[in-house]
Amino acid sequence: MVTCSPKASPHWVDIPAGADRAHAARAVIGRRCRDARRILKRLVKAASQQSCDAPRRMELVHDLRVACRRAIAAVRFFQPLLARKAARRTRKWLRRVRRTAGTVRELDVLASTINGRDDPVLRYVAEHILPKQRRNHWRRSVRKLKKLYRELRRKKSDSIIRPKKKLTRTTYITWASQQLADQALALATHFAQPCRSWEEWHRLRIRVKQFRYSAEFLARLVPAVARIYPLIEDLQEKLGEINDITSCLQWLSTWQDKIPRRLHRGYALLVRSFERRREAQLQQLSGWIQEQRFAEILTALAGRVAASTRPFGACAGWETKCLGCRVALAFRFGKCHWLGARCADARGDSSQVFLFCEVSRLVTRPAMPSGAARWPMVLTTRVDFRWPAQKS
């Protein structure tokens, strides 16, 4: 398998391009669900131990929420291949785990935000309100998580995949590229329209998360996805910082009646300062999005991803253009997938032409043409063909 970037994320899925889409869905969803199951088990075990410190608990809660989001994104991405009821039950269970740990995570972020701040209102909240709230929500969340963990033992993630006989045979790279191209176009329409309220920004944040977790399925196969992945990651981080400020405002408004009367004036000033800070960061983020031209980048990405899975013979004349299509025809492969924006002309002016072809099916000996014994029986996922340019 070819790594498209030297800084590849460990969360990128390593699936062969020519794999069957049902097998790929089973592998991806199984991995994501196993990650969530493993982190949930570690969190439940740590909760039963009195020696679990707060930083360790905060890390496990954060990892659990992220693992659940990745698993939900995998179920949504492969939704057309899944049994409807079983997929809905799996997604519902993952959402319950994520929301149960959500309150604990918000309070942890609030504690890390206000601790050490030289403000009387924040100091009163950190000393008299927040510790009790964190203990109570942690205990309730642990009870719910233990119950959900017991339910998990009866679930099997592989059972949500439809039987192969009900699915037409399609390669993973072809089907997944089309799915990701559709998501890129849908996200580009959101960037084309400015967000006028925090609710719209929050919906954009959710879509950015879904697209990022879906891009991890193709980042190792399509270089264009690997190049845009760090940009989407930075955008999600910026939106997360603004969401933390909004969460602080919501919790402070919830505890307004618990703040003494002598601190009411300071409370109003604090809320206004948080709101001004959020508005300033939103304006800065809006300018950064326009500077990076996210709408144009995502639209171009959708075109590149769609172009990376052209069917064989669609290269404007396979007999003169694409050597990958020649091999696919000679060996009776189903498709030839070229990872690039267009097919290179073997009769060009360059000294050598590099054609990167994705082969969708393995060759069988009876299907091999005469004189093809020099070709390997099994071609790798990515093949590098060198065709010297003809001299005029």
The hierarchical CATH code for the domain 171-308 is 1.40.20.10
Query: What is the model's pLDDT at position 307?
Result: 64
Q: Which residues pair with 252 in a beta bridge?
A: none
* Rounded CA separation 259/270 (Å): 13
pLDDT along the chain (392 residues), means of 10: 54 87 89 91 84 78 94 92 86 93 92 85 91 91 90 63 64 88 88 86 93 93 89 93 92 91 91 93 92 86 69 36 43 38 32 31 34 34 36 41
Query: What is the model's pLDDT at position 346?
Result: 33
Query: What is the model's pLDDT at position 338?
Result: 38
Q: Which residues pair with 357 in a beta bridge?
A: 338, 383
Tell me the pLDDT tens digit for each residue of 129-160. Answer: 999 999 999 999 999 999 988 887 665 555 56
- 3-state SS, residue 357: strand
Q: What are the extents of the domains in the chain?
A: 10-170, 171-308, 323-388
Q: Which residues pair with 353 in a beta bridge?
A: 387
Query: What is the model's pLDDT at position 196?
Result: 84
Query: What is the model's pLDDT at position 105?
Result: 92
**Residues 41 and 150 sit within 8 Å (Cβ to Cβ):** no
By the 10 Å C-beta count (0-12 exposed, 13-18 middle, 19+ buried), 42 is classed as: middle
Cβ atoms < 10 Å from Cβ of 280: 10
Q: Which ranges of the chain would DSSP assign to H, the alpha helix? A: 21-47, 54-77, 84-114, 120-124, 130-152, 172-192, 198-215, 223-254, 264-292, 294-307, 323-330
Tell me the pLDDT tens digit for each residue of 334-369. Answer: 343 433 333 333 333 222 223 333 333 333 333 333
Query: What is the model's pLDDT at position 329?
Result: 43
What values do phi and psi take at 357, rounded to 5? Answer: -115, 140
Question: Minimal CA–CA distance to 122: which of 275, 246, 130?
Answer: 130
In one-letter notation, the amino acid at residue 157 is S
Structure tokens at 228: 């845009």
Query: What is the model's pLDDT at position 133?
Result: 92
**What single DSSP character describes residue 122?**
H
Please provide the DSSP assignment of 123-188 as one string.
HHIIIIIHHHHHHHHHHHHHHHHHHHHHHHTT--GGGGBPPGGGS---BHHHHHHHHHHHHHHHHH
* Rounded CA separation 22/20 (Å): 6
By the 10 Å C-beta count (0-12 exposed, 13-18 middle, 19+ buried), 67 is classed as: buried
Q: What is the largest CA-CA distance in the chain?
A: 93
* Rounded CA separation 271/252 (Å): 8
**Residues 311 and 344 sit within 8 Å (Cβ to Cβ):** no
Query: What is the model's pLDDT at position 285?
Result: 92
